[in-house]
Chains A and B, each alone.
Chain A
Amino acid sequence: MSQVEKASAEPLGQRGRIEGVSRLAQKLAALVTLLALIVAFSFGNPAFLSINNGLTVLLQTSIIGLLGIGMTLVIVTGGIDLSVGSVLALSGTVCGLLIQGGLPVVPAMGLGVATGALCGVFNGLVITKLRITPFVATLGMMLIARGLALQLTGAAPISRLGETFGLLGNGALFRVVEMGENGFPRVIFPGVPYPAILLLVVALLAAYLLRRRQLGRHIYAVGSNEDAARLSGVNVDRTKIAAYALSGGLAGLAGMVLMSRLITVQPNEGVMAELDAIAAAVIGGASLMGGVGNISGTMIGAFIIGVLRNGLNMAGVSSFIQQIVIGLVVIGAVYVDQLRNRR
């Protein structure tokens, strides 16, 4: 054995190091792409680099980012969650109705997030107990949650939810406002928007979960080889249910942020948001085959999509062309990823 191994260990080690380097290179490539986009857009339009626009991008990306984090957890288990856009709307609806019914904002938002998590648990149970593929199970939930949101509201938006409801989406930390001489407030420093802080906190927690906790290890194991995980004593069903519950809960949280930003509950919000979330995860290197993916990659992916959208908007490119561009970026990113894996 020793001779055989000695002969083969060196080239293997070499290959391992090279692939490790290439993996890092891929992440760097994504980061460079992001920076190149920013540079290109700011040459096109100097206003792109303004603080205010930066904040807009941050706000827009916080929704994609929150959904993308949940999506990453699910994709790493080898699944997919098509329901996040609808769940986002249902969670917002539940929250809005509760506030209308007299519940204070904070518990109502908590219950909104819980609604999302519950939808995720339902997804997980359908997938593990009824043995229905994630694609079909979450497609069903996509219709159920959207239908529920529309039914509960009669497809009408819920407004007049009070100023506190708008705080999460519009507030900012360290915002400095001065009363101008003309009697209007003047913003000296716009501060760090709460959604951006929330995204950062959730991203750090999710990265910690995946890297340092047993659940995270099991999420990778299930996506890598489900049978092996089961035979090794991993509770596969519980791991999957947890991943879908987290994805649903984060969709609920994204719903709170989005509806709060609009200060209105829109049961029609979040249509096709699941596709942005999947795109963010995939651009960030997550594999739909499972076992591969991480939060930092997904964050870069979410910002690439956010910057693309915003930059193209500012350049006056129509939203139709934007869809085409983002579609091509997703295909390109996955193709590059495949090239890397084929080697």
Chain B
Amino acid sequence: MIATESTHAQADPPQGVTPLVEMISIEKHFGGVRAVNGVSLDLYPGEVVGVLGHNGAGKSCLMRILSGAMIPNEGRIRVRGRDVQIASPQDARSHGIETIYQTLALADHLNAPANLFLGRELKTRFGNLDDARMMREATEALRGLNPNFRNLSDPVSRLSGGQRQVIAIARAIYFDVNILVMDEPTAALGPSETAMVGDLVRRLKGQGIGIFLVSHDIHDVFDLCDRIVVMNRGALVGSHRIEEVTKDDVLSLIIKGALPDGWAPRNSASLSARVGVAQ
């Protein structure tokens, strides 16, 4: 906890801007195992925060709590300064929190439009599914991400990994999204598709959307993120502006749970510049 607060001081929030989301003293334990141990984390408009850590460090767990897929034992979540209850994925969505899961969470037997609109299907006046409109809008949304997207009426189990990823992304950004959680969005992708995701992150950032990017790939994180937070054994062990740390510093945080001995901010001058970026 103490470590968490002191690292927060190193990446202090911009004055006068309400965070999009604040997770406050979140605890989640399974029996005796403390998967998330008193973590506080916030996210500002237009900010991309990389969430790093070993497997089992608690980062996925923390993100699942924000997505409503998991309910914390303790802690509060505030969205735009207001306390909210997130007890289900529906709750999270109603607060503009969308998630791209590592597993993509697609129903294999349904086609792309049915997956894109799953859980919030468009209906006609009589309450019937409006498949024609869903097909139209899905085509537009998917081709917006990948102009060559086709086979929209096929079950998504027949589509390539890249196409499936595009559906998962389209589903997250198609609706009113304020806060986007991306769990390993590039793990299954080739280089060109990874670049597409990078472009997308920058575009969404420009629209003022806040993004949590959970990743193993430290290079991706340095390319895309404004700030990184590192989790180790359920605790937050570091929160730093990307300019003040090196990749080695981050690796040290991931592996040891602490910065290298004698560490000092690499480039503290740039700290003041980022408030402008955030807006």
A→B interface (CB under 8 Å): 1-6, 8-9, 12-13, 15-16, 19-20, 211-214, 217, 220-221, 223-225, 227-235, 291-292
Contacts and interface: CB of A to CB of B under 8 A. Distances in A.
Interface stretch (B28-36, B123-131, B222-230): B123-131
Given A1-B196, A16-B158, A230-B89, A213 B129 contact: yes
Nearest to A8: B160
Contact of B109 (A1, A227, A292): A292
B146 A5 contact: yes
A264 to B, nearest CB: 41
A294 to B, nearest CB: 11
Interface residues of B, number: 44
Contacts of A220: 107, 109-110
Interface stretch (B17-25, B112-120, B201-209, B239-247): B112-120
Interface of B: 67, 69, 88-90, 93, 99, 101, 103-110, 114-115, 118-121, 123, 127-129, 146-151, 154, 158-160, 162-163, 171, 190, 192-193, 195-196
Contact of A214 (B88, B104, B105, B121): B121
B151 A12 contact: yes
A19 B158 CA distance: 10
A234 B118 contact: yes
B150 A13 contact: yes
A233 to B, nearest CB: 3
Contacts of A228: 103-107, 118
Nearest to B121: A214
Contacts of A227: 103, 105
User: What does DSSP make chain A's interface, helix, strand, loop or mixed?
Assistant: helix
A229 B196 contact: no
A224 B123 contact: no
A74 to B, nearest CB: 16
A224 B109 CA distance: 6
B150 A4 contact: no
29 contacts: A1-B146, A2-B147, A2-B148, A12-B160, A16-B151, A20-B154, A212-B129, A213-B129, A217-B121, A220-B109, A221-B110, A221-B114, A221-B118, A225-B106, A228-B106, A228-B107, A228-B118, A229-B107, A230-B69, A231-B67, A231-B69, A231-B89, A231-B105, A232-B119, A233-B90, A233-B93, A233-B119, A291-B108, A292-B109
Contacts of B118: 217, 221, 228-229, 232-234
Contact of A291 (B90, B109, B128, B158): B109
B127 A1 contact: no
A12 B89 contact: no
Ordered nearest first, which 7 A-B pairs have the shortest CB separation?
A: A233-B119, A224-B107, A291-B109, A228-B105, A232-B119, A224-B109, A232-B118
A12 B120 CA distance: 28
Given A2-B147, A220-B110, A230-B89, 12 more contacts: A211-B129, A212-B129, A214-B129, A217-B121, A224-B110, A225-B105, A227-B103, A231-B89, A231-B101, A233-B89, A233-B93, A234-B118
Given A2-B148, A5-B148, A225 B108 contact: yes
Contacts of B195: 1
B162 A5 contact: yes
A213 to B, nearest CB: 7
Name the residue in B89, B149, B196 with the highest tally of chain A Cβ atoms < 10 Å from its Cβ: B89
A4 B119 CA distance: 31
Contacts of A1: 146, 148, 162, 190, 192-193, 195-196
A224 B108 contact: yes
Contact of A15 (B109, B121, B158): B158
A4 B194 CA distance: 12
Given A16-B158, A213-B129, A217-B121, A2 B146 contact: yes
Contacts of B196: 1
A186 B171 CA distance: 65
Contact of B119 (A8, A15, A234): A234
Contact of B192 (A3, A212, A224, A231): A3
B109 A4 contact: no
Name the residue in A16, A20, A228, A229 with the highest tally of chain B Cβ atoms < 10 Å from its Cβ: A228
A228 B160 CA distance: 18
A16 B154 contact: yes
A9 B147 contact: no
Given A3-B192, A4-B190, A12 B159 contact: yes
Nearest to A15: B158
A217 B128 CA distance: 11
A226 to B, nearest CB: 9
Nearest to B163: A5
Contacts of A214: 121, 123, 127, 129
B86 to A, nearest CB: 12
Given A1-B146, A1-B162, A9 B151 contact: yes
A221 B119 CA distance: 9
